[in-house]
Amino acid sequence: MNRLYHYPLSPFSRKVRLSMAEKKIEVELVEERYWEQDADFLRRNPAGKVPVLKMGNRTMADSTAICEYLEDSHPTPPLLPNGAEGRYEARRIVAWFDDKFYKEVTAKLLGERVFRKVMGTGYPDSTNVKAGSRAVKYHLDYMAHLLDQRRWLAGNDMTLADFAAAAQLSCLDYISDVDWNRHEVVKDWYAKIKSRPAFRSLLADQVPGFPQPAHYADLDF
């Protein structure tokens, strides 16, 4: 059985969970408090981060390398377009969310509001929270700009770019930090992706000490 070591509110774990579910690859989820740097876990991934995927006798780390592996080894349904240009655009947007959005928004909002408490590293830093709240607006505007020209973020087909974005946004939505009314086109996009069967497992996530808000799992939010 495939096994994914993950954390429910890790956007990088969620990106892999969405890809596997969309490709109908069964996987057992094992919650990993990776910041405790358990020796067994560090043996599985010397980088000390989730997600880590065990598939057969292979143990794999790094969400981007894992998603590319899933694409190479389980090409149906494809999560990257066919041509080099389309693939570039999807990967550029994946990197945008994994790097820029994560650093500017997720790390600042989720990092301060949830992870500080969970990891026991003190009170939220309000400067970071304010910076994250400002930055999320700019990113939602950028998404609206893309979605005004295309059905999905990287083109007219759903790709890994949509999963990378939804992985970050769904974590923030769990703590009610996304203003879905800012752009109708972004809300419609999230409603479409949220209603996919691949999303169900994310909507069932529960984090002790942080009860799920009512709108989080509601498809008609």
Name the nearest CA neighbour of 201 among 29, 3, 69, 74: 29
**CA–CA distance, 194 with 97 (Å, rounded to integer):** 17
- Here's the x/- map for a copy of itself, 2-41, by CB under 8 A: it reads as ----------------------------------------
Q: Retrieve residue 104's tokens.
A: 């500017």
Which 78-97 residues touch a copy of itself, going by CB under 8 A? 84-85, 87-88, 91-92, 94-96
CB of 31 or CB of 68, closer to a copy of itself:
68
**CA–CA distance, 66 with 50 (Å, rounded to integer):** 11
Name the nearest CA neighbour of 116 among 210, 205, 179: 210
CB of 43 or CB of 219, closer to a copy of itself:
43
Instruction: Considering only the stretches 16-24, 27-35, 68-76, 110-118, report the one whose residues sit in contact with a copy of itself under the rule CB under 8 A.
Output: 68-76
CB of 67 or CB of 202, closer to a copy of itself:
67
C-alpha to C-alpha distances, 109 to 100, 129, 136, 180, nearest whole angstrom: 14, 5, 9, 16
**DSSP assignment letter at 212:** P
Q: Tell me which residues touch a copy of itself (CB under 8 A).
A: 46-47, 58, 60-62, 64-66, 68-69, 72-73, 84-85, 87-88, 91-92, 94-96, 99-100, 142
